Amino acid sequence: MTEPGASPPYARALITGIGGQDGALLARHLLAAGVEVDGTYRPGGATPAWRLAELRIGAEPGLHLHALDLADVAAVRGLVAATRPQAIFHLAGQSRVAESFADPLASIAANGGSTVHLLEALRAEATDAHFVLAASAEIFGRPAASLLDETTPPAPATPYGVSKLLAHAAVGAWRASYGLRASSAILFNHESEWRDEAFVTRKLTRAVARIALGRQDHVLLGNLDAARDFGYAPEYVAALARLAALPAGADVVLATGRSATIRDFATQAFAAAGIALTWQGRGADETAVDAGGRVRVGVDPALLRPVDAPALVGDATKARRLLGFAPQVDLADLARRMVAADLEREQRA
pLDDT at position 10 is: 97
Going along the chain from its start, the domains and CATH numbers come out as 12-193+230-257+313-329 (3.40.50.720)
Tell me what the mean pLDDT of segment 152-180 comes to. Answer: 94
pLDDT at position 40 is: 96
State pLDDT tens for residues 279-333: 999 988 999 999 999 999 999 988 876 656 667 899 999 999 999 999 999 999 9
CA atoms 140, 185, 228, 303: torsion sign: negative
- State how beta strands 278-280 and 287-289 pair: antiparallel
Tell me what the mean pLDDT of segment 265-281 comes to. Answer: 98
Average pLDDT, the chain: 92
Q: How large a percentage of the chain has pLDDT more than 70? A: 91
138 is an active site residue: yes
Which residue intervals of 244-330 are DSSP H helices?
262-272, 317-323
Structure confidence at residue 95 as a pLDDT band (50, 70, 90): low
Structure confidence at residue 244 as a pLDDT band (50, 70, 90): very high
Instruction: Give the 3-state DSSP-derived string for 190-215, with helices as H, strands as E and coil as C.
Output: EECCCCCCCCHHHHHHHHHHHHHCCC
Helix axes 331-348, 262-272, angle to 10 degrees: 50
State pLDDT tens for residues 38-84: 999 998 766 678 999 999 999 999 999 999 999 999 999 999 999 99
Catalytic residue (choose from 36, 125, 138, 235) = 138
pLDDT at position 97 is: 56
197 is an active site residue: no
Catalytic residue (choose from 10, 160, 232, 236) = 160
Higher pLDDT among residues 257 and 305, named by residue:
257
User: Hey, which residues does 280 pair with through a beta bridge?
Assistant: 287
pLDDT higher than threshold 60 for residue 252: yes
Angstrom distance (rounded) from CA 345 to CA 349: 6
Structure confidence at residue 144 as a pLDDT band (50, 70, 90): low
